[in-house]
Chain A
């Protein structure tokens, strides 16, 4: 129990992903939604690094670098969309943006 193993990291990353998913589903502010996506991507990275250490292979860490790259691209595009959206709708709340709802 006290000795830290890979399964400890898997449990931690699962909990972090749970918090991220709850954040995406319950919050209204799009900025917090994007932050929750970052939390989920970090949960993935914890898993990849833990397995990388467990298998003594560096490939998991290389994958983590790609995940961080994609996270950076996602944040840039997401925040660009947010600014364009705010200019048109004057709101940052996800449930007030219902242009496609009928």
Chain B
């Protein structure tokens, strides 16, 4: 299992609060039995709509092509629990997300996939986005050990729940192995719960 301590790369800023998972990957792309190929459809409808009115979505801007870090605002990933959403973002090329706040299910999905997701203040999120917009070649560095995000010579403090941070640093972000290892304890818990035997 791989440890994740620091990531860096060019970044893509995506402005807006409450960007829900229906927007990240519209439901029609959920008609699938694998996550393969979802990357190209990330933000499909938002992208098309902007194109139609002569604007460009950040994911379509050539200067952000190849970005590894996604910079967002508040309540990102709210709505549907579809893991297809972080999967589409990851398959597009993103390896870490920085933003003000995230829906819990989205956050949990990212962790389970090994996609670090860090919180920064409202003001810092906007500054980070502005810095990336000013210089799309700037490298954004995300450090899970120091809990910092740095870009263009500026450093911002970031947050991540302690347990989750430990999971990334120790490589235990994929919890399955440890959960499976607890099988005996799980059987013991099941025995204690009266409904497991339908109260017989």
Do A and B originate from a single complex?
no
Which residues from chain B sit less than 8 Å from chain A, CB to CB?
none
